Structure 1
Amino acid sequence: MATEQSILQISMSLDSKCFDDDDRLKRTGTVWTASAHIITAVIGSGVLSLAWATAQLGWVTGPIVLFLFAFVTCYTSCLLASCYRSGDPVTGRRNYTYMDAVEANLGDFKVKICGAIQYLNLFGVAIGYTISASISMAAIRRSNCFHDSHSKDPCHFSNNPYMLAFGAMGIFFSQIPDFNQICWLSIVAAVMSFTYSLIGLGLGISKVAETGKFKGSLTGISIGTVTQTQKIWGSFQALGAIAFAYSYSLTMKKATLLSVSVTSVVYMMIGCFGYAAFGDLAPKNLLTGFGFYNPFWLVDIANIAIVIHLVGAYQVSCQPLFAYVEKHAATKFPQSSFINKEYNINLFLKAYKLNLFRLVWRILFVISTTIIPMVMPFFENIAGILGAIGFWPLTVYFPVEMYIVQEKIPKWSTRWIGLQILNVACLIICTVAAVGSFAGLVTDLKVFKPFHTNY
């Protein structure tokens, strides 16, 4: 009996060391590891359009807008962190996902709205990744073509084969179970994102050093270079591009503060030095718009890093959507063998569980995110629309509303009014950004022939 009691005590002691108070495996992350994951997720291909966005707004408004987006993102993410537990901040029930927090604080109706926005945003992000990766792949070929012809050949190539290649990779990797749980994935993604970001920054700094002057103006791209209408729409699109770069919302206050500070410094430097290097002629994509031709091998390395990063980022971003559809289908049709049955297949001396529904559904999803970009391959406008649609509800509205409920802030109190002013101001900015990006998309579609994209 004593032995059994000792074993039980040892077992309970081990359990307390291995599991948290919610009977889940104990969390082993730190502020540093969390910050690294956030930076990996946030620094994406959207950073390459910040020089163009700064050019639309100018030396005064551009840096101010970059700073304000950083401040709002950091502040609302800290509000969201306060909603990690429901009720008591120490002993309350943990909310493991964003939607868990929304459901616990705002109810079933708003969690459905939140889910629809999140999954639509993920679908759009997958399209954006496909466009961006294909442009970078085409840019590698174009860079080498320019180098070989000594810039005499215009080197125009269709993006479509590269979209198909990216789609083929997407189909293959989408069938890997729990792709987002692969431990080395974040390390590779972090290295790749910092590689192309720092190369873009370094090339901008070197060009400024070479010319010895900062280009650009206080108010941005001048009337004459563009019409007044184009200037207005361009400024609106710039807001969407910046919102896309900052469009994320995670918990953990210290990690958020550290990671947003780092990414904001990187964003400010890339946006400002890119604008200083090119002025009104800043390209919409710093590494594929060929403001930089040399050293061509360094530009190639940066674009290879973008492709590698986006192959992994595509899968990680799509995993929640894959899981939701598959879980919903299994719940709705529990008797369907097509949806629920798994077949054991030996691949490379390792058992692989094949599910026919997962196979077909994920292939169709990847095909859709490949065909749509071939019809509308306008990265900057797609990014602006995604940023505008996703930033306000996911980064501002839901965190603010959940925080008000969590902290029981009285209606019409000073604090409540301040939060609502922030809410409304961000809604207006994102609406303006969405309108500008849609206008740009309409303009592009007027002269575009589907499936005949030349880079």
Structure 2
Amino acid sequence: MVEGGRGDRKTPLLPKLPRDSDESEEEVVRTGTLWTVIAHVITAVIGSGVLSLAWSVAQLGWIAGPLALVIFAAVTVTQSSLLADCYRSPDPEYGHIRNHSYLQAVKLYLGGKSVWFCGFFQKTSLYGCAIAYTITSATSMRAIKKSDCYHKEGHKAPCAYGDSFYMLIFGAVQIVFSQIPDFHDMAWLSVVAAIMSFSYSFIGFALGIAKVIANGSIKGDIGGIPLSSSAQKTWRVSQALGDIAFAYPYSIILLEIQNTLKSPPPENQTMKKASMISIFITTFFYLCCGCFGYAAFGNDTPGNLLTGFGFYEPYWLIDFANACVVVHLVGGYQVYSQPVFSFVDRWSSDKFPNNGFVNNFYTIKLPFLPAYKLNLLRICFRTIYVASTTGLAMFFPYFNEVLGLLGAFNFWPLAIYFPVEMYFVQRKIETWTKKWIILQTFSVGCLLVSIFAFVGSVEGVLSEKLS
């Protein structure tokens, strides 16, 4: 049964008045807790990046590799703390204003051209993550097929399969899940995805330990994998830093996640605590997967720990781990795509308030399922969005290089620059004070790392495309 008419959005348009009152927020029921936020964060952070960390440690070596992981973890905790404080903005008339999204916070605190630049980097980053997750999911699905082939035909069998078919399958699944209205309706998906991320991270960690024990020695070197020239080594190191940068920050969706929290206690306190717990857990798994992967394979460390076939047996465990990757990335894709969907919904309704295509909702009632509010704009835009990410993933199916490029491109502006600048305004920190100098030094240092990683990652993508 279908009922047509104007539907109320669960996440309303931003109120015209700059206020956060019960009247303007009455349609939003915030039920998020510390644990649901931890699930969202782990789903966002532990993604395809964890699978490349053994390769990254192998490029950097036994000292620089683990140290880089710890430093990026500390940077992520710092920037997430700064950004969490920017969720509520003091207002002389209404007390405070909620910043429902990263872009809204930049508009309020910084305004001007900062909004345009932030919007460009944020949407590019979110869109890029969707492409990366499509590549990774297809790689894992293909790995399941190859694992079964190797088990039946032998490890030297020509078990070659393409990625395109699996990318199309993943895209079809995402078209369905993209009809989830918003973050408030997907806590269950994040919980499932977080469980999956723990599962395959732990399996990768356990297989690494088993391989080290079987070898009877720890492989690897202080300087990492040796290459024929210093230039090649430099490019590989920069790509490795880009991969690590991709594996950590989640600043572009932090405020959207924080906006799901109920209060009291204050949202920034809960968000900071959730970030600390989540980053501690993820860093533990990152160190285990990265270091034991390198210890197990040394100079032969694969680019993707679970699909590079450093492990062949037990094949069923490899299959299960890769299945967990796929299920997790179904949720991860949505975590990074929902902010884009929400932005388009709000902008369209504000721009075309009387357009039925944009604003009309039709209630669909199917047997044994809850009623669903169908909107034509959502179906059309979200389907096109998923189709475009799938198409680009098919054109650039380079796992390590794409991850490094995305991580380096977005790391400094979104994870460092804007959070630091907004924090200055929110806390009214004056120029050349001690805290201002410390945070600016922190920002400049991260900028230099980001530029270095970006240049090397671009070289890697171009080399793969031309080869």
> TM-score surpassing 0.5?
yes
Residue 297, structure 1, aligned to residue 316, structure 2: yes
RMSD across aligned C-alpha pairs, in angstroms? 2.3
Kept in 1, the 8 Å contact 2:55–2:240? The answer is: yes
Residue 248, structure 1, aligned to residue 250, structure 2: yes
The match for 1:358 is 378
Kept in 2, the 8 Å contact 1:180–1:316? The answer is: no
Q: Residues 314, 279 of structure 1: CA spacing in aligned structure 2 closer, same or farther, 3 A cutoff?
A: same
The match for 1:328 is 347
Kept in 1, the 8 Å contact 2:44–2:336? The answer is: no
Q: Residues 36, 374 of structure 1: CA spacing in aligned structure 2 closer, same or farther, 3 A cutoff?
A: closer
The match for 2:278 is 259
Deviation string, structure 1 residues 173-225 (Cα, Å, up to 9, x no partner) = 2234347613421221111000010000110111111112111111111134x
Aligned counterparts, 1:138-287, within 5 A: 138-178=142-182, 181-224=185-228, 227-249=229-251, 250=254, 252-287=271-306
Deviation string, structure 1 residues 141-178 (Cα, Å, up to 9, x no partner) = 00000000021312011111101111111122223434
Q: Residues 104, 334 of structure 1: CA spacing in aligned structure 2 closer, same or farther, 3 A cutoff?
A: closer
Aligned counterparts, 1:336-351, within 5 A: 336-348=355-367, 351=371
The one-letter code of the counterpart of 1:228 is S
Q: Residues 31, 190 of structure 1: CA spacing in aligned structure 2 closer, same or farther, 3 A cutoff?
A: same
Quote how far apart the aligned CAs of 1:33 are.
Answer: 4.2
With the length of structure 1 as denominator, give the TM-score of the two structures: 0.88
Kept in 1, the 8 Å contact 2:126–2:337? The answer is: yes
Quote how far apart the aligned CAs of 1:356 are.
Answer: 2.6
> How far apart in 2 are the matches of 1:200 and 1:373?
25
Deviation string, structure 1 residues 348-396 (Cα, Å, up to 9, x no partner) = 3654433333222222111111111111101211111111122211211
Aligned match for 2:396, one of 373, 376, 390:
376
Q: Residues 342, 88 of structure 1: CA spacing in aligned structure 2 closer, same or farther, 3 A cutoff?
A: closer
The one-letter code of the counterpart of 2:408 is A
> How far apart in 1 are the matches of 2:132 and 2:29?
36
Quote how far apart the aligned CAs of 1:310 are.
Answer: 1.0
The one-letter code of the counterpart of 1:313 is G
> How far apart in 1 are the matches of 2:348 and 2:98?
26
Structure 2, unpaired ranges of 5+? 1-20, 255-267
> How far apart in 2 are the matches of 1:59 and 1:181?
43
> How far apart in 2 are the matches of 1:269 and 1:359?
41
> How far apart in 1 are the matches of 2:124 and 2:458?
17
> How far apart in 2 are the matches of 1:358 and 1:230?
46
Which shows bigger deviation, 27-36 or 75-84? 27-36
- SS of residue paired to 2:223: coil
- SS of residue paired to 1:156: coil
Calculate percent identity across the aligned residue pairs.
53
Quote how far apart the aligned CAs of 1:243 are.
Answer: 0.1
Q: Residues 23, 441 of structure 1: CA spacing in aligned structure 2 closer, same or farther, 3 A cutoff?
A: closer
Which shows bigger deviation, 287-296 or 332-341? 332-341
Q: Residues 253, 327 of structure 1: CA spacing in aligned structure 2 closer, same or farther, 3 A cutoff?
A: closer
> How far apart in 2 are the matches of 1:360 and 1:235?
42
The match for 1:99 is 103
The one-letter code of the counterpart of 1:293 is Y
- SS of residue paired to 2:466: helix
> How far apart in 1 are the matches of 2:356 and 2:40?
38
Aligned length: 427
